């Protein structure tokens, strides 16, 4: 068996970070454990282009920390972690290289002796996670036919629907909702909202998504126009950083609630939304449906239990809105404070 010679990376706020070059694939990869709870941490594997190995390392640490906050505010006894495999932007891996890299990554996962559990994330599929699972036991999000929770996206979309319903404080039927990003989560969300009777406007950089828009009778717009569309709700379901001071000044909605991680370009954006009277449902609170499903698999997957737990995202959201209104603060600060309270502190190296 080829050994993975990984190097521990000095990262003071993190329980452990290891990086290596895969012995088979020669691709750079890293795992960051922000912290463990009861000896465990969980976070998906990103297989993405990065300009440099350092960029990948910065990203994996940032994402691991965000997983700690998400698990804490959701009330899951789980630490935050993340894994990345980086490929050069100009050369996406062919299937053979992909399998070698996933094998290398599985060995890196194994080197943590179960303290890190990996799962699907951006740039990986359920087939990729099955492939990793051929070489390590420490995976979650196995296919449904193998007793796993399967694709997390439908569960994430369920959580976003709960958040929209909770924030509107009214049924979804008849409301006008704009979805930007019709990928895994956005398309499930569009179907759910369509079934609930919403009027939809949708946007994506990929014109192939127009087919789904037509099937649902949704209006199609460019992402640029969709951000400024007059509607009840904007649901950002593409990439992070969409809400900056410029885009916020153009919003014509009363609610922003979507799946995209790190929607706010900076913390100042939370104040800008508050000043405009727009209710922002914090992304790391409402997009936890997938994490809830994957975590449930660790106890023997039970779909009804997962669905009940996702419905409770609404209670968490109401608590955040109450706290923010009582303290006169924004929803980001209120959500972060709740995460700290629910976990007894969010620093790494402390559990």
Please pick, from the candidates 15, 104, 128, 204, the single residue that binds ligand NAD as defined by CB under 6 A: 204
Computed over its alpha carbons, how large is the radius of gyration of the chain?
20
What's the rounded Cα separation, in Å, for the pair 132 and 86?
16
In whole angstroms, the minimum distance from the beta carbon of 25 to ligand NAD comes to 23
Structure letter (DSSP) for residue 266: S
Site for ligand NAD in 98-127 (CB under 6 A): 122
Given a contact cutoff of 8 angstroms between Cβ atoms, the answer to whether 261 and 240 are in contact is yes
Total number of residues that touch ligand NAD (CB under 6 A): 26
Tell me, residue by residue from 130 to 159, as one string, x for binding to ligand NAD by CB under 6 A and - for no binding: ----------------------xx--x---
SS3 306: helix
Q: Describe the chain by its helix, strand, coil percentages, rounded to 5.
A: 45, 20, 35
Tell me, residue by residue from 266 to 305, as one string, x for binding to ligand NAD by CB under 6 A and - for no binding: ---------------------x--x---------------
Q: Which is nearer to ligand NAD, 107 or 201 (CB)?
A: 201
In whole angstroms, the minimum distance from the beta carbon of 120 to ligand NAD comes to 8
Does 186 bind ligand NAD (CB under 6 A)? Our answer is yes
For the record, the structure tokens of 2 come out as: 């080829």
For the record, the structure tokens of 278 come out as: 């727009």
In whole angstroms, the minimum distance from the beta carbon of 229 to ligand NAD comes to 13
For the record, the structure tokens of 60 come out as: 């994996």
In whole angstroms, the minimum distance from the beta carbon of 1 to ligand NAD comes to 33
Structure letter (DSSP) for residue 23: T
Task: Identify which of 281, 310, 73 has the alpha carbon closest to the alpha carbon of residue 188.
Answer: 310
SS3 73: helix
Question: Choosing from 61, 82, 146, 209, which is the catalytic residue?
Answer: 82
Q: What residues pair up with 29 in beta bridges, in sequence order? A: 20, 85
Does 203 bind ligand NAD (CB under 6 A)? Our answer is yes
Q: Which is nearer to ligand NAD, 6 or 74 (CB)?
A: 74
Structure letter (DSSP) for residue 252: B
Q: What does the chain come to in residues?
A: 351
For the record, the structure tokens of 260 come out as: 């995209």
Does 25 bind ligand NAD (CB under 6 A)? Our answer is no
The burial of 284, by beta-carbon neighbours within 10 Å (0-12 exposed, 13-18 middle, 19 or more buried), is given as buried
Verify whether residue 82 is a known catalytic residue: yes
Q: Which is nearer to ligand NAD, 22 or 186 (CB)?
A: 186
Site for ligand NAD in 310-349 (CB under 6 A): none
Strand 176-180 to strand 219-221: parallel, antiparallel, or no bridges (unpaired)?
A: unpaired
Does 170 bind ligand NAD (CB under 6 A)? Our answer is no
Strand 176-180 to strand 233-236: parallel, antiparallel, or no bridges (unpaired)?
A: parallel
Please pick, from the candidates 111, 130, 254, 261, the single residue that binds ligand NAD as defined by CB under 6 A: 261
In whole angstroms, the minimum distance from the beta carbon of 206 to ligand NAD comes to 4
Does 238 bind ligand NAD (CB under 6 A)? Our answer is yes
Binding site for ligand NAD (CB under 6 A): 122, 152-153, 156, 180-186, 203-206, 209, 223, 237-240, 259-261, 287, 290
Known catalytic residues are 82
């Amino acid at each position: 068996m080829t050994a993975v010679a990984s190097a521990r990376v000095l990262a003071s706020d993190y329980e452990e970070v290891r990086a290596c070059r895969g012995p088979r694939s020669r691709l750079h990869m890293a795992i960051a454990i922000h912290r463990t709870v009861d000896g465990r941490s969980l976070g998906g594997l990103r297989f993405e282009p990065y300009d440099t190995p350092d960029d990948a390392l910065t990203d994996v640490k940032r994402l691991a920390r965000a997983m700690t906050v998400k698990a804490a505010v959701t009330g899951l006894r789980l630490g935050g972690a993340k894994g990345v495999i980086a490929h050069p932007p100009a050369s996406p891996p062919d299937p053979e290289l992909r399998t070698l890299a996933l094998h290398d990554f599985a060995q890196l996962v194994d080197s943590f002796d179960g303290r890190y559990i990996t799962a699907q994330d951006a740039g990986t599929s359920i087939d990729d996670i099955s492939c990793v699972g051929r070489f390590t036991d420490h995976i979650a999000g196995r296919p449904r036919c193998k007793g796993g929770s399967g694709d997390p996206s439908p569960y994430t979309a369920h959580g976003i629907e709960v958040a929209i319903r909770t924030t509107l404080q009214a049924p979804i039927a008849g409301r006008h909702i704009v979805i930007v990003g019709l990928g895994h989560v956005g398309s499930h969300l569009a179907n759910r909202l369509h079934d609930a009777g919403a009027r939809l406007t949708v946007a994506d950089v990929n014109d192939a998504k127009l087919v789904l828009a037509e099937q649902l009778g949704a209006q199609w717009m460019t992402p640029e126009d969709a951000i400024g569309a007059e509607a009840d709700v904007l649901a950002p379901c593409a990439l992070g950083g969409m809400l900056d001071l410029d885009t916020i000044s153009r919003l014509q909605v009363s609610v922003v609630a979507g799946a995209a991680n790190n929607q706010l370009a900076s913390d100042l954006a939370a104040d800008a939304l508050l000043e405009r009277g727009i209710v922002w449902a914090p992304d790391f609170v409402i997009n936890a449906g997938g994490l809830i499903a994957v975590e449930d698999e660790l106890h023997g997957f039970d779909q009804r239990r997962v669905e009940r737990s996702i419905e409770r995202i609404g209670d968490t959201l109401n608590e955040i809105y109450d706290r923010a209104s009582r303290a006169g603060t924004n929803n980001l600060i209120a959500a972060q404070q709740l995460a700290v309270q629910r976990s007894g502190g969010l620093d790494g190296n402390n559990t």
